[in-house]
C-alpha cells in the first residue's frame, strides 16, 4: 500500500494534523510526517515533493496557516494528489489560509478541506488510495456503516426522551 505524506508548515500545526495521522492509523494506512515550509525551505519542499512517488507516497496532505502556500508548492512539483488543510492560525481565523489553499491556478489542483479539517483530509486520502485497494475500500464501507449506526442510535435516544 502506498503511504500518505503529511506535511505541515510549522510544528505548531501538529495538534490539528495529529487528527489526520490518527485517522490514517485507524485504517491501517502508513504515513510519514514532515515539517517543511513553502517559504523558509522551498528547495527542500520541492525536492521532497518531486521525489515522493518513487519513495512509495501516494497522496499528500499539506497543512499550513496564514499565507498557506505549502499545498500549492507541493502540487507544483508532483502529479500525486494533494489535499490542503488550511490552519486557523492568524487574526483572520483561518480565512486567509483557506483562500490561499483553495484558490489555485488552472493546472495545479489542490483538494481543500475545511479550516482545521484534518480528519476529512485523512478520509479523502484513504478514499483516493482505496480506488486501487479492495481491502481499504471495505474498511471505508464498514466505517460508513458505523457512522450510520451511531447517528441512528443517537436519533433513537433523542426520540425516547
Instruction: Say how many C-beta atoms besides its own lie within 10 A of residue 110's C-beta.
Output: 23
Q: What are the extents of the domains in the chain? A: 3-133
100-139 tens-digit pLDDT: 999 999 999 999 999 999 999 999 999 999 999 999 999 9
The pLDDT score that the predictor gives to residue 154 is 94
C-alpha cell at 55: 519513495
Q: Span 137-149, mean pLDDT? A: 98
Tell me if 101 sits within 8 A of 94, measured CB to CB. Answer: no
CATH 3.40.50.1970 fits 3-133, yes or no: yes
Per-residue confidence (pLDDT) for residue 2, from 0 to 100? 97
Give residue-wise pLDDT tens across range 34-76.
999 999 999 999 999 999 999 999 999 999 999 899 999 999 9
Report the pLDDT averaged over residues 140-151.
97
pLDDT for residue 159: 80
Label residue 108 left, alpha or beta by phi (over 0 means left) and psi (-120 to 50 means alpha).
beta
pLDDT given for residue 89 in this prediction: 85
Q: Is the dihedral of CA 90, 93, 96, 99 positive or negative?
A: positive
| Residue 90 predicted with pLDDT over 80 | no
pLDDT attached to residue 31: 98
pLDDT band at 15 (very low <50, low <70, confident <90, very high): very high
HSE-up of residue 120 (Cα within 13 Å, Cβ side): 10
Amino acid at each position: 500500500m502506498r503511504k500518505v505524506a503529511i506535511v505541515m508548515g510549522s510544528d505548531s500545526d501538529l495538534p490539528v494534523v495529529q487528527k489526520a495521522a490518527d485517522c490514517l492509523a485507524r485504517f491501517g494506512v502508513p504515513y510519514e510526517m514532515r515539517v517543511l515550509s513553502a517559504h523558509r525551505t522551498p528547495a527542500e519542499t520541492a525536492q521532497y515533493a518531486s521525489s515522493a512517488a518513487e519513495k512509495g507516497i501516494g497522496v499528500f496532505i499539506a497543512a499550513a496557516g496564514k499565507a498557506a502556500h505549502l499545498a500549492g508548492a507541493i502540487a507544483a512539483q508532483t502529479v500525486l494528489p494533494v489535499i490542503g488543510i488550511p490552519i486557523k492560525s492568524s487574526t483572520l481565523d483561518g480565512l486567509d489560509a483557506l483562500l490561499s489553499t483553495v484558490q489555485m491556478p488552472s493546472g495545479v489542483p489542490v483538494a481543500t478541506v475545511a479550516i482545521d479539517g484534518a480528519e476529512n483530509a485523512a478520509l479523502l486520502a484513504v478514499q483516493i488510495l482505496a480506488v486501487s485497494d479492495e481491502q481499504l475500500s471495505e474498511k471505508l464501507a464498514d466505517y460508513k456503516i458505523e457512522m450510520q449506526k451511531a447517528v441512528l442510535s443517537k436519533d433513537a435516544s433523542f426520540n425516547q426522551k
